[in-house]
Amino acid sequence: MTQIVTVQTQPYDGQAPGTSGLRKKVKVFQQANYAENFIQSVFDSVTREPGSTLVIGGDGRFHNRTVIQQAIRMAAANGYGRVLVGRGGILSTPAASHVIRKYKASGGLVLSASHNPGGPDEDFGIKYNIANGGPAPEGVTRAIHARTLEIDRWFTVEARDVDLDRIGDVEVGAMTVSVIDPVADYADLMEELFDFAAIRKAVAGGFTMRFDAMSAVTGPYAVEILENRLGFAKGTVVNGTPLEDFGGHHPDPNLIHARELHDLMMGEDAPDIGAASDGDGDRNLIIGRGRFITPSDSLAMLAANIEIAPAYKGRLAGIARSMPTSAAADRVAEALGVPCFETPTGWKFFGNLLDAGKVTICGEESAGTGSDHVREKDGLWAVLLWLNILAVRQIPVDRLAREHWARFGRNYYARHDYEGIDKDGADALMAGLEDSLGSLAGRSVGALRVKLADSFSYTDPVDGSVSENQGIRVLFEDGSRIVFRLSGTGTQGATLRVYLERYEPAGGRLDEDTGAMLAEQIAAADAIAGITRHTGRSAPDVIT
């Protein structure tokens, strides 16, 4: 019998999971019992059979290996029968989702703070995924949080660290730990979904790309799939080695943090397509030669063409998007005669719709796209779907986009982020907006007239659960829209996100500058919310 060690502890405040798990500074996680309290609270709260399997993996950031070793010992003491862990402690978020599903695990711990920077002074995170492979829904995260507030002990076993760099099985207490290849299962799944032969043919015919892995987790996946299996030239994947601090950068695939890729794609030497992914591999950035594709447009364009990919032929059941994501996908759903669902921000809200077969593809404006192949957003999956479509249709990204807008119209769209602002100012801004909800309708702001303003509330069509206060929406009579919400993934102060959108119908002004097209909405956002007054900022930090 393995000796189970009980360690006394006291609760920490502030262990409520946010949009995507618990994210804090590494220094916070390094406090005695901090990670252990949270992990034990997960084990105390979630449903599982004795002897069940737990998947553990992370994005390779600083502190990953330390927490993995502790989590393994704790799993052994908490009655798990087996732990599957990626070699080197690596598993991208979508790969972890796939491994959970494939090996019928009862759940998984995904150690990541995603696009947040890494390193001793930066961010770390822990997220729990349930047996369907997806992020724990709110009912589960609430239970975990409640448990963190009363926890007084955690369980572990005395055992040496597992050699995470050697594939194979070892025993920890009465539990088996299998160190697995983090890439193979995922790469095989991608090969089942897409027409690799068609993509290989296009590559052989001169189709080129650059993939920027941003020194984060997708490097090994991208090298195996793009270079080894699809035949793209060596060097197609740049920044392909996962680093503990992501080379000092933000592994956030947007036009600010993936500037180099953007500049390449706008220049003379641009390859046919440029793509990037984030810290944990669930986001994607798509840029064609001379043409940036917004994530909202990408969702719509992929949905319109998804049946080109073998695994999706004849089975687009529906589309889901998060509320702040543009309505471009709605137009596609309408034209194709399939339902479109609008959920709160965060992938956990797509899980029920995917499980119930109500939707096949989902997306968020924050560069997340995915399908029913796993229960997470999936960066490389989106890139491969783009490649499959381009290879079969033999069309450049720019022309595909223009043809799409000519058919469906164009949703000009931007998100303005005010990062690291004072929490009190951010709360006052949101409170002010809530107070004004009753009086906004009918008000004129510049040339715009407010048609409706509300606080978004979502009733899950599958289990009936209700999620309130998911962002303030201001809809104008001309069909344009502003959404305000506070980020739930930051670790410092508050981040205000302002989402701006305006629709231009087919036949309208389809090739204009986004900033110019949204000028009225941008001015209205400040007039309605008092952004400068509350935040002290006259311009956003990041525009995507």
Cβ at position 134, least distance to ligand VG1 in Å: 12
By a kind-dependent CB cut-off of 5 to 8 A, residue 123 interacts, out of Co ion, ligand VG1, none, with: none
For the window 305-344, what string marks contact with ligand VG1 as x by the rule CB under 6 A? -----------------x----------------------
The correct pick among 41, 45, 114, 215 for binding ligand VG1 (CB under 6 A) is 114
Q: CB of residue 25 vs Co ion: minimum separation in angstroms?
A: 18
Q: Is 5 helix (H, G, I), strand (E, B) or coil?
A: strand
- Judged by CB under 6 A, the chain residues 489 through 508 that form the site for ligand VG1 are 489, 497
Put the strands of the sheet holding 319-322 in their side by side order: 340-343, 319-322, 361-364, 368-371
What are the tokens at 191?
A: 């090969």
Bridge partners of 132, per DSSP, are none
Which is closer to ligand VG1, CB of 473 or CB of 497?
Answer: 497
3-state secondary structure of 522: helix
Does residue 116 touch Co ion according to CB under 5 A?
A: no
Quote the CA–CA distance of 95 and 318 in Å, as a whole number. 24
Q: Does 58 bind ligand VG1 (CB under 6 A)?
A: no
Q: Does 114 bind Co ion (CB under 5 A)?
A: yes
Terminal-residue alpha carbon distance, the chain: 56
425 belongs to the binding site for ligand VG1 (CB under 6 A): no
CB of residue 93 to Co ion, shortest distance in Å: 6
Quote the least distance from Cβ 377 to Co ion, whole Å.
7
- Contacts for 282 with CB less than 8 Å, ≥ 6 apart: 92, 93, 94, 114, 347, 368, 370, 376, 377, 378, 379
| List 41, 114, 277, 322, catalytic entry | 114
Q: Which stretch binds ligand VG1 (CB under 6 A): 8-16, 163-171, 295-303, 481-489?
A: 481-489
User: Which of Co ion, ligand VG1, none does residue 488 bind (CB under 5 to 8 Å by kind)?
Assistant: ligand VG1
Helices and strands (DSSP H and E) totals, the chain: 18, 27
The two structure tokens encoding residue 38: 């949270």
Select from 280, 376, 378, 501 the one that contacts Co ion (CB under 5 A). 280
Q: Which residue is nearest to ligand VG1 (CB)?
A: 114
Cα–Cα distance, 58 to 506 (Å, whole number)? 44
Q: Which region, judged by CB under 6 A, interacts with ligand VG1, from 264-272, 294-302, 402-410, 484-492?
A: 484-492
d(C-alpha 45, C-alpha 47), whole Å: 7
Binding mask 366-395 for ligand VG1 (x = CB under 6 A): x-x---------------------------
For ligand VG1, which is the closer residue by CB, 53 or 343? 343
Q: Which stretch binds ligand VG1 (CB under 6 A): 209-217, 275-283, 287-295, 330-338?
A: 275-283
CB of 282 to Co ion, least distance (A): 4
Q: Per CB under 6 A, does 61 bind ligand VG1?
A: no
The entry of Co ion, ligand VG1, none that residue 364 binds, CB within 5 to 8 Å by partner kind: ligand VG1
CA 99, CA 55: separation in Å to the nearest integer?
A: 7
Side-chain-side CA neighbours of 157 within 13 Å: the count stands at 22
CB of 323 to ligand VG1, least distance (A): 10
Q: Where does this chain touch ligand VG1 (CB under 6 A) — which range of 208-216, 265-273, 345-353, 532-540?
A: 345-353
Least spacing, CB of residue 496 vs ligand VG1, in Å: 10
Give the position of tokens 């029913």.
372
Taking CB under 5 A as the rule, does residue 470 contact Co ion? no
Residues composing the chain: 544
Phi, psi of 391 (to 5 degrees): -65, -40
* Residue 521, token pair as written in the block: 């909405």
Strand partners, 355: none
Q: Does 488 bind ligand VG1 (CB under 6 A)?
A: yes
Does the footprint of ligand VG1 cover residue 487 (CB under 6 A)? yes
φ/ψ (deg, to 5) at 41 = -65, -35
- Binding mask 18-47 vs ligand VG1 (x if CB under 6 A, - otherwise)? -xx---------------------------
**Nearest distance in Å: CB 18, Co ion:** 13
Residues 6 or more apart whose Cβ sits within 8 Å of residue 84: 53, 54, 55, 56, 99, 103, 105, 178, 180
> Rounded to the nearest whole angstrom, what is the least distance from the CB of residue 325 to ligand VG1 in the complex?
8
User: Residues in contact with ligand VG1, total (CB under 6 A)?
Assistant: 18
- How far lies 436's CA from each of 431, 454, 472, 479, 483, in Å? 9, 10, 11, 20, 14
Burial label for 313, CB within 10 Å (0-12, 13-18, 19+), is exposed
| Residue 538 is among the residues annotated as catalytic for this protein | no
- 326: partner contacted, choices ligand VG1, Co ion, none (Cβ within 5-8 A by kind): none
Beta carbons of 157 and 4 less than 8 angstroms apart: yes
Distance CA 199, CA 197 (A): 5
Closer of 182 and 368 to ligand VG1 (Cβ): 368
Calculate the alpha carbon distances from 513 to 91, 118, 248, 416, 543 in Å.
Answer: 39, 34, 32, 16, 14
Query: Tokens for 284?
Result: 């994607």
- Residue range at the interface with Co ion (CB under 5 A); choices 48-56, 107-115, 156-164, 198-206: 107-115
Q: Which is nearer to ligand VG1, 350 or 408 (CB)?
A: 350
CA distance 473 to 501: 11
* Residues making contact with Co ion (CB under 5 A): 114, 278, 280, 282-283
Write out the catalytic residue numbers. Answer: 114
* Residues making contact with ligand VG1 (CB under 6 A): 19-20, 114-115, 278, 282-283, 322, 345-347, 364, 366, 368, 487-489, 497
